[in-house]
Copies of this chain bind each other. A is one copy, B any other.
Amino acid sequence: MNSGHIVKSFDEELEEVRNTIVEMGGLAETQLEAAVRSLTERNTELALKTIEGDKAVDELELAIDNMSIRLLALRNPVADDLRLVISALKIASLLERVADYAANISKRVIALNTAPTIAPISSIPRMGEMVRRMIDDTLKAYTNGDSDLAYDVWKRDQDVDQLYNSMFRELLTFMMEDPRSITSCTHLIFMAKNIERIGDHMTNIAEIIIYQVTGEMPKEPRPKGDKTSVTMIDNETP
């Protein structure tokens, strides 16, 4: 295997790093889609398969790490090429966590499926689809070096945060009205939080792409929409 690498040109090696990032991102996107679908379908088998699928993402991160370290050691890249390699290391670590979140959602689906449906799940697929599209566009922006599209993804994260805020409040209210739903709703809140975090990670990757293409970070401060850390719902008057 390794002997094949030696005859590759520097540009081909850089291209291989880029392609592996896109492959890894595509896999992470599929994992998120499958995790959310296992919830809506109450499909424990799909959830188990998604948990198992996390390994493939981990292996791609390791492959990117090894390629990058090899490039750094043997090719001594500078300027834009060095930035590309460092970015790849960072993006791979973020994508690895995206897949971790998908696996965590799947674990919670398995738990939920052991009990009757008693909690409102409808916002989860909506959030999931918003964030899946963010992943998709982030990968397009990465492939094409499209900083406008990356900036668009960066701005969209606040919509995800807003949906998460309203879902957080809805689930708290639901638990208060029907305490039998507490365990299920708590899992749903964590699932929603996982999806919200995936959105955050796409924002991070979008910033890396914007910086790589333009040499600058977005000028505005990052739009921060997750207000749930400071949310209190008055339990006396639900």
Contact = CB atoms under 8 A, between A and B. Distances in A.
Interface string A215-238: 000000000000001111101100
Nearest to A194: B229
Contacts of A236: 180
A78 B72 CA distance: 8
Interface string A82-121: 1100100110010000000000100110111011000000
A180 B235 contact: yes
A115 B230 CA distance: 12
A179 interface: yes
A73 interface: yes
A216 to B, nearest CB: 14
A73 B69 contact: no
Interface of A: 65, 68-69, 72-73, 76, 78-79, 82-83, 86, 89-90, 93, 104, 107-108, 110-112, 114-115, 172, 175-176, 179-184, 186-187, 189-190, 193, 229-233, 235-236
9 contacts: A69-B82, A89-B90, A90-B93, A93-B93, A110-B230, A183-B233, A184-B232, A186-B186, A190-B193
Given A73-B78, A111-B232, 18 more contacts: A68-B86, A69-B82, A69-B83, A69-B86, A76-B76, A93-B93, A104-B229, A111-B230, A112-B232, A172-B186, A175-B179, A175-B182, A176-B182, A179-B179, A182-B182, A182-B235, A183-B231, A187-B229
